[in-house]
Amino acid sequence: MRLFAYAVVLTLLLAVSARSVTTDEIRFRYQDGLIWLKAEVSGKNQSLNFLLDSGAGVSVLDLGRARSLGMRLGNPELVQGVNGRAVAYRVDDFQAASGGITLPKSVLAINLQAISECCHQHIDGILGIDFFRGRIVQIDFAARRVRLLQQQGLGLANCEILPIKMCNDAFCVPIRVAGNRAQWMRLDTGCDASLEWVVSGSGKKLIEGTSVGLSHSSRPYIQATVQIGKQHFTIPAAIHAGPIFSGEGGLLGNGLLSKFRLTIDETGDRVIFEETR
């Protein structure tokens, strides 16, 4: 299943060794190619299903769930989605936690019903880039843990370390695809694909091999070699003739990210890839 359109909607709306010092951690379920967390709202006797989405520029709460929880909604505002404009409401006092870790208090409430239909269960909310700010967040796909780490004691042996560049309020890292020069790709844990690659631009070599078919979003895709630091991987890459987001070369999703213990060090402007076997 591809949730590429879902990743676009959310964004348009506005790892290190296990020996590292850990402050807190959240257990997650990896399903539908996405990272599912349980969240508890203060004073409410129910758990919510959240997705961890490093490609979303803001954290989101489902509008229906916000109303059922009695959240105070701000004035309506129009936000741009992939299929046009939608109405959202600011919630400024969202008091919730996951695994004892406090979640962002200011979120947007918007209808998530349509994208929930692509998943095995309803999406109550999304944790976006504001969850990562001021933190070192490790996503351990093998152990199914999200950990908050401390700067001291980070083990960087046998890791690939790439710089972070902020583009359109999103984390981007330099990635080489099919022997081309490095492009800034969005680090997107809200995308279940391996790679959504923008091939527009003069002199870009499209493929090293042959097109192998269509994704079920009807996009052509190829088997392409992707270089992360010194490591090379051959993965399926969906092809986009034009930009997905201005100034970005595409989306790097969980199909590839899940091969690593991934640490997003927002405080140090870097991402650490530790391959797990």
Which tens digit of pLDDT belongs to each residue from 189-198? Answer: 999 999 999 9
| Tally of domains in the chain | 2
Last residue of a domain, one of 101, 127, 149: 149
On whether residue 155 sits in a domain, the answer given is no
On whether residue 236 sits in a domain, the answer given is yes
Q: What is the pTM of this model?
A: 0.86
User: Other CB atoms closer than 10 Å to residue 142's CB: what's the count?
Assistant: 13
Q: Clarify whether residues 170 and 123 are in a common domain.
A: no
User: Which residue range(s) make up the domain with 70?
Assistant: 4-149
User: Other CB atoms closer than 10 Å to residue 190's CB: what's the count?
Assistant: 29
Which tens digit of pLDDT belongs to each residue from 6-50? Answer: 444 454 444 333 344 456 899 999 999 999 999 999 998 889 999
Q: Clarify whether residues 223 and 97 are in a common domain.
A: no
Please report, for the domain that includes residue 143, its CATH number.
2.40.70.10
Which tens digit of pLDDT belongs to each residue from 111-168? Answer: 998 888 888 889 999 999 999 999 999 999 999 999 999 876 677 778 999 999 999 8
Which tens digit of pLDDT belongs to each residue from 74-104? Answer: 988 887 554 557 789 999 999 999 999 999 9
What are phi and psi for residue 227, nearest 5 degrees?
-110, 120
Last residue of a domain, one of 130, 149, 168: 149
Distance CA 196, CA 9 (A): 15
Q: Which of 62-76, 196-210, 224-238 has the lowest mean pLDDT?
A: 196-210
